Chains A and B, each alone.
Chain A
Amino acid sequence: MSTPAIQATGLTKHFRGESGETVTAVDGIDLTIGSGEIVAFLGPNGAGKTTTVDMFLGLTSPTGGTVEVYGASPHRAVMEGRVSAVMQTGGLLPGFTVRETVRAIAALHGRPDRVEVVIERAGLGPLANRLVKACSGGEQQRLKFALALVPDPDLVILDEPTTGMDVGARQQFWDTMQADAADGRTIVFATHYLAEADAFADRTVLMARGRIMADGPTNEVRAAYGGHTVTFRPPANVTGANGIDQAWLDDLRKAVAPLGIYDLEVAGASLEAAFLALTGTPMSNENETEGALR
């Protein structure tokens, strides 16, 4: 087989915390991503996804272990234009127009010939002369996707690219992305939107507390870990003829939101279940909640 896109061995990153204590953001990750794969990094905030991605890109150096991108150092891969990235929100200059932004980054890559190609690819043609600050969040993310395409990379890494977008904008972003992925690029994206991993990734890597909890084809991850359903029995005083009291449901929603649950109405075997089972945090709270409910 050809050289893998990413090869990480024992990848570890410690940070110095606020009060001098050592925080382990990434805890010994072993991972191989082959050429042409579409892989989702799924996990709650603080799982270490961004730190991992930063090490793949050479923006952060590991405290332990090694990472190679196409058999070379991440920095080398970036220099050669083999890998590029769409970062989380921010990272654009509001005073540039869309086309100027692309031209500026294309100049730094030495690829002015790519400007019009990537503008078209990202569907930015009609916005090309608009100032970045006048673009919506979704449009700005598509611009960043266009910037990532400038060096014509073999591997594109996207770090929570759709954070803060509404459903429509998110769909549009992924449509654009998928059209391009058909070109045979390797795509790695971090997300905490479970549905995105479900819909767009062939393979899902589940991360929690800096470790890989599961890694496999997305449908297998779902099948293996999605068999458990947690059922709550609401107290009698909130159940009426018209169903469960709306205010109580709202309270419940607020109460479970910190656990990463963003929708109570999801039913059946799904990645949501896998997500909860694997990230583990709900376990202790779950019992408490159950006790309170009965």
Chain B
Amino acid sequence: MTTMTTTATHTAAPTGRRTARPLALTYAGLDLKRQLRDRMGMFFTVALPAFLFFVFGIGDGEAYGSANVAMFVMVSMAAYGAVTATTTVAGAAATEQTMGWGRQVALTPLPSLAFVAIKTAVAMIVAAVPIALIYAIGAATGSSGNAFDWLASAAIVWLGSAVFAVYGLAVCLVFKGENAAGIASGLIVIMSFLGNLFTPMDGIILEIGRFTPLYGYAGLARYPISEGHLPNDAGHDPVWLLLANVCAWTVIFAALAVWGLRRRRERV
């Protein structure tokens, strides 16, 4: 018996091989670090919304609903940053899959569902970064509202941004290639204008905007402050309309993602 151990450093064990458990948290930590190090991505998810906050209404103390204008703008910009974050992370995840990293991961014992869970957690943590930063800037520069305004709006901004992870996934599954993530976050800018996030809209643009994906989400996030009343007396949105918008687009994005996934599988 002892002679055998000296010959080979590696022997093919027939049975009883050690089965190690995947360390999902370690992987998530490394992935998160990689995302936060991406300067381009962080510029669009953190620096740009913070800059826009400065431009559009930082410190504007005029009363608005139960808060002030500065707070209203703060929520909008945090929403823009959070949505950009989830779109980027989810979109990049789809691209990683198609570029071969998915095969690398498929050759580990990690179940696919656990991988999706890791990616979702990373996306939600990255989304929390612009929200925390912009809320901190707001708190330091005169955004004011009651405690419920702060907590409820932050929670809605954060949780609602998950819908746009589905959006990012859908775009990157439907449009192949490395540019897909860029297309997805570029469209977010346009949808932010139409969604009444950047400058208050009225008239026909507002009527069109009501049907665009970011409108319902942003409206809900600002509902604790405004109770649905739009800036410059442009109108009023009931909760059901905002919820219907979010639900409808969630279904559309999910359907697109499933369609993109099927189409991709068939091509393999």
Are A183 and B9 interface neighbours, CB within 8 A? yes
Expressed in whole angstroms, the minimum distance between the Cβ of B5 and any Cβ of chain A is 13
Expressed in whole angstroms, the minimum distance between the Cβ of A189 and any Cβ of chain B is 16
Residues of chain A within 8 A of B233, CB atoms compared: none
Are B26 and A105 interface neighbours, CB within 8 A? no
Query: Which of chain B's residues has its CB closest to A154's CB?
Result: B12
CB contact between A110 and one of B17, B23, B37, B105 (< 8 Å): that residue: B23
Query: Which of chain B's residues has its CB closest to A18's CB?
Result: B267
Are A91 and B27 interface neighbours, CB within 8 A? no
Question: A185 and B34 in contact (CB under 8 A), knowing A91-B104, A105-B104, A110-B21?
Answer: no
Query: Quick check: is B110 within 8 A (CB to CB) of the other chain?
Result: yes
Jot down 30 A-B pairs with beta carbons below 8 A, ordered by A: A5-B12, A59-B106, A60-B268, A70-B12, A78-B106, A80-B17, A80-B19, A91-B99, A92-B101, A92-B104, A93-B96, A93-B101, A103-B26, A104-B26, A105-B105, A105-B108, A107-B22, A107-B23, A108-B22, A108-B105, A108-B109, A108-B110, A109-B22, A109-B109, A110-B109, A111-B20, A112-B23, A144-B104, A184-B9, A184-B10
- The contact string, 1 if C-beta is below 8 Å from chain A, for chain B 96-114, is 1001110111111110000
Are B107 and A84 interface neighbours, CB within 8 A? yes
Among B9, B12, B38, B268, find the residue whose CB has the most chain A CB atoms closer than 10 A: B12
Residues of chain A within 8 A of B20, CB atoms compared: 81, 109-111
In the bound complex, CA of A84 to CA of B10 (Å): 15
Expressed in whole angstroms, the minimum distance between the Cβ of B66 and any Cβ of chain A is 42
Query: Quick check: is A197 within 8 A (CB to CB) of the other chain?
Result: no
Instruction: In the A-B complex, list the 10 residue pairs whose CB atoms are closest, starting with the nearest.
Output: A110-B20, A91-B100, A90-B100, A107-B26, A108-B108, A154-B12, A183-B10, A107-B23, A107-B27, A108-B110
Are A183 and B8 interface neighbours, CB within 8 A? yes
Residues of chain B within 8 A of A84, CB atoms compared: 107
Question: A59 and B26 in contact (CB under 8 A), knowing A81-B109, A152-B10?
Answer: no
Partner-A contacts on B (CB < 8 A): 8-14, 17, 19-24, 26-27, 30-31, 33-35, 37-38, 96, 99-101, 103-110, 266, 268
Give the residues from 92 to 137 in chain A that come closer than 8 angstroms, CB to CB, to chain B: 92-93, 95-96, 100, 103-105, 107-112
Are B34 and A96 interface neighbours, CB within 8 A? yes
Residues of chain B within 8 A of A59, CB atoms compared: 103, 106-107
Are B23 and A184 interface neighbours, CB within 8 A? no
Are A107 and B30 interface neighbours, CB within 8 A? yes
**Additional 17 contacts, C-beta under 8 A, given A95-B37, A109-B22:** A3-B14, A59-B103, A59-B107, A78-B107, A80-B17, A87-B104, A91-B99, A91-B100, A93-B34, A105-B105, A107-B22, A108-B22, A110-B22, A112-B23, A154-B13, A183-B10, A184-B11
Residues of chain A within 8 A of B17, CB atoms compared: 80-82
- The contact string, 1 if C-beta is below 8 Å from chain B, for chain A 29-63, is 00000011000000000000000000001011000
In the bound complex, CA of A81 to CA of B13 (Å): 12
Residues of chain A within 8 A of B31, CB atoms compared: 104
Expressed in whole angstroms, the minimum distance between the Cβ of B57 and any Cβ of chain A is 34
Among A36, A92, A100, A104, find the residue whose CB has the most chain B CB atoms closer than 10 A: A104
CB contact between A87 and one of B19, B27, B33, B100 (< 8 Å): that residue: B100
